[in-house]
Amino acid sequence: DVKVTQSSRYLVKRTGEKVFLECVQDMDHENMFWYRQDPGLGLRLIYFSYDVKMKEKGDIPEGYSVSREKKERFSLILESASTNQTSMYLCASSLWQNQETQYFGPGTRLLVL
């Protein structure tokens, strides 16, 4: 079974703080993704990565950055958290040859005060 884990289920931060969200997958997947999920807007892609040290912008990358130093780990960074980044953040991974079948982590619910 594919397992994708995220470092925190719930997180509360203050405006302006730097926030790190960590995601680890244990199935040697090449692709990893970060989404945010908001009511009425569905899941929106922030960043994705096809390989170590590679990253591609998704649909809403502004205010975020990512890091992929190891194949199994993909980090999402909020350089200076703002209240409009309050959201559910979901990480996913997939195989290179089957990119569309993505396996999701349990999500991190972030509240920025």
Partner 1 sequence: EDKVVQSPLSLVVHEGDTVTLNCSYEVTNFRSLLWYKQEKKAPTFLFMLTSSGIEKKSGRLSSILDKKELFSILNITATQTGDSAIYLCAPYNTDKLIFGTGTRLQVFP
Minimum distance of partner 1 from residue 112's CB (angstroms): 21
Shorter beta-carbon distance to partner 1: residue 42 or 69: 42
Minimum distance of partner 1 from residue 16's CB (angstroms): 29
Which structure tokens are listed for 27? 């199935």
Shorter beta-carbon distance to partner 1: residue 17 or 45: 45
Nearest CA among 92, 85, 93 for reference residue 109: 85
Distance, CA of 78 to CA of 87 (rounded, Å):
12
Q: Which residues bind partner 1 (CB under 8 A)?
A: 4, 35, 40-45, 48, 58, 90, 99-107
Shorter beta-carbon distance to partner 1: residue 4 or 21: 4
Distance, CA of 108 to CA of 50 (rounded, Å):
22
